[in-house]
Structure 1
Amino acid sequence: MNTLLITATDTEAGKTVLTTALAAYLQKYYPQRNWGIMKPIQSGVGDREWYQNLFLLKQSAQEITPLYFQAPLAPPIAAAKENRQVDLAVVWQTLLGLQKRHDFLLIEALGGLGSPVTEELTIADLAGQWRLPTVLVVPVRLGAIAQAVANVALARQSGVNLKGIVLNCIQPRSDAEIADWTPPNLIQSLTNTPVLGCLPYLDNPTDLDKLAQIASDLDLEILDTF
């Protein structure tokens, strides 16, 4: 069983784009493989609905997202507004069940690597404790190098099995901007973590053929999971 956690430096960095691209890649190039998607915790309408609309998943809504809160806030805050708790046991049991049923499981984390899951734990803590192979998405913008360095340091501190970094253009970027703001060689040198490639800005993020092609351009062999 292969599992891959997709996390990022912060919110709106491109986790959903990368997860969708990898799912489209699996669907197009490995149609015989039984794969699934998980968004362990979701606050507000968003990613679960996105995946249900794009893919014919053999999963219930509860299996895609075992913990769902109404307010689009950090889970401990959203849970408190509903007089609930963030029950990670439910997430863990759902994860184990999906791993048994699927050859490959894509897990999209919430927020960034340092985002709170509970009042005591962050995404980095969870990734480390649950031993989830992880990819970090870094948005192409000024300050991205520092974000990459800080997040890789957090990953190491938390014992995360960080497989690589994927750069993502959240807005249209020129080759010069990508080279100046997120030079792969410098990021790799500073973090000692491979940069798997750069996702271009997409006008139509629902074009599964384009997404599959973009994913195929990434250095997926480094992940040793596909």
Structure 2
Amino acid sequence: MLNALLITGTDTEAGKTVLTTTLAAYWQKYYPQRSWGIMKPIQSGIGDREWYQQLFALEQSAEEITPLYFQAPLAPPIAAARENRQVDLAVVWQTLSELRSRRDFVLIEALGGLGSPITDELTVADLAGKWRLPTVLVVPVRLGAIAQAVANVALARQTRVNLKGIVLNCIQSYSDAEIADWTPPDLIQSLTNTPVLGCLPYLDNLNDLDKLAQVASNLDLETLQLSYRRD
């Protein structure tokens, strides 16, 4: 059973928050006896931290959810420079380590895409590899998604990311034919040698936690080692 899972994407607005929220809803519904937490390690501007605080009754302080918070909605090294601050990853690592020690499971939503800068020298992929975080890549369903998947998996391999799988995400309401044409799972798996764990439908209401939990249960959570045997 995994103790933590990093959720990253091909780029901004790929669907990281959708998948993170969906998995959190699943965990909350089916394993209420087990403790879990959410982290958005670095955030620039108002966004995901506030969303998770609103949606879930998290027994976490704002600093435990987001150890590094910058005001400007820009890449962290740029946002930090505007405030005459540094991107102190030691603070992030310490907070994550403490949270993992106290919780059965921690969902970690990365910023931007796998290639997004965290510092002047490091990307999300670099950090995922260095910290050995089991990772899922969210690929948005659209024309060009196959190439994005191939390029991002190549980056993950280069930086030694422990990539557990790919989740496709419908950023709009598409027909089955469009989904099959733009993101054929068999082809993506063949080209990347990475399992496609499922496809999230377009979700226009992320407040319906029961529905989100059901959607998550349709993913291949066994491959992610996110499922306990339910009696």
TM-score, normalization: structure 1? 0.99
Give 1:132's aligned amino acid.
Answer: L
1:91-136 residue CA offsets vs partner (Å, 9 max, x unmatched):
0000111011100000000000000000000000000000000000
* SS in structure 2 of the partner of residue 10 of structure 1: coil
* SS in structure 1 of the partner of residue 14 of structure 2: coil
Which whole-Å CA distance do the structure 2 matches of 1:196 and 1:183 have between them? 12
Residue number in structure 2 paired with 1:194: 195
Which whole-Å CA distance do the structure 1 matches of 2:80 and 2:226 have between them? 34
Residue number in structure 1 paired with 2:153: 152
Which whole-Å CA distance do the structure 1 matches of 2:207 and 2:45 have between them? 20
1:76-91 equivalent positions in 2, closer than 5 A: 76-91=77-92
Deviates more, 1:124-133 or 1:203-212: 203-212
Residue number in structure 1 paired with 2:54: 53
Residue number in structure 1 paired with 2:115: 114
1:1-226 equivalent positions in 2, closer than 5 A: 2-226=3-227
CA offset at residue 225 of structure 1?
3.5
The RMSD of aligned alpha carbons is 0.7
* SS in structure 1 of the partner of residue 22 of structure 2: helix
* SS in structure 2 of the partner of residue 137 of structure 1: strand
1:176-219 residue CA offsets vs partner (Å, 9 max, x unmatched):
00000000000000000000000000121211111100000000
CA offset at residue 46 of structure 1?
0.2
* SS in structure 1 of the partner of residue 108 of structure 2: strand
Which whole-Å CA distance do the structure 2 matches of 1:169 and 1:223 have between them? 20
Which whole-Å CA distance do the structure 2 matches of 1:225 and 1:217 have between them? 13
List alignment gaps of at least 5 residues for structure 1. none
Which whole-Å CA distance do the structure 2 matches of 1:183 and 1:8 have between them? 18
* SS in structure 2 of the partner of residue 59 of structure 1: coil
Runs in 1 of length 4+ with deviation above 4 angstroms? none
1:1-34 residue CA offsets vs partner (Å, 9 max, x unmatched):
6100000000000000000000000000010110
* SS in structure 1 of the partner of residue 204 of structure 2: coil
* SS in structure 2 of the partner of residue 148 of structure 1: helix
TM-score, normalization: structure 2? 0.97
Give 2:188's aligned amino acid.
Answer: I
1:113-161 residue CA offsets vs partner (Å, 9 max, x unmatched):
0000000000000000000000000000000000000000000000000
Which whole-Å CA distance do the structure 1 matches of 2:115 and 2:34 have between them? 32
Give 2:196's aligned amino acid.
Answer: V
Which whole-Å CA distance do the structure 1 matches of 2:3 and 2:226 have between them? 6
Which whole-Å CA distance do the structure 1 matches of 2:95 and 2:89 have between them? 10
Identity of aligned residues (%): 85
Which whole-Å CA distance do the structure 2 matches of 1:179 and 1:225 have between them? 26
* SS in structure 2 of the partner of residue 134 of structure 1: strand
